[in-house]
Amino acid sequence: MDMLWVDTTTDEEARALDRGMWEMVGSEQPDGTFVAQAAGPAPESGEFWYDALNRIKDDPDKRYAMARRHLPLPAAWREMAVSLRMKIRKARKAKAGYEAELRELHHLAAMDSYAGYGYI
């Protein structure tokens, strides 16, 4: 399995993941044109990750797990936060504890602030 961004421990590991996703790779086409493109985020079951996420958006656990796999993409931070808020809302309605989810939401906000991608 490929390393996730949240599992990196050094700047070089994080940079290597970033290069693998965003480094431009070019190729010359038969008609002589040159095409350059970046690999982009890894697909989920053969499709763009955010499209796959939209099919499971009502399941906060699956939504969180998929978004986590795609950190540090800005939309992944937001989707993780949304899934945690869904869990907190459900726990509050059931009058159950939600301290762990709230702690994770705060941790996520702190990590996001260091990633430099804006806000959740």
Q: Rounded mean pLDDT of 9-13? A: 89
**Mean local confidence (pLDDT), 94-120:** 83
The mean-pLDDT minimum among 17-21, 26-30, 36-40, 114-118 falls in: 114-118
Verify that 86 and 30 share a domain, yes or no.
no
* DSSP 8-state assignment for residue 3: P
Tell me the residue range of the domain where 75 lies: 43-120
In 3-state terms the chain splits into helix, strand, coil percentages (rounded to 5) of 60, 10, 30
Alpha-carbon torsion, ordered 76, 77, 82, 84, to 10 deg = 110
83 and 51 fall within a common domain: yes
Contacts of 50 (CB under 8 A, 6+ apart): 75
Same domain, 77 and 119: yes
Question: Residues 36, 49: one domain?
Answer: no
The more confident residue out of 82 and 2 is: 82
Q: What's the domain count of the chain?
A: 2
pTM of the full structure? 0.78
Find the mean pLDDT for residues 6-12.
87
More confident: 79 or 115: 79
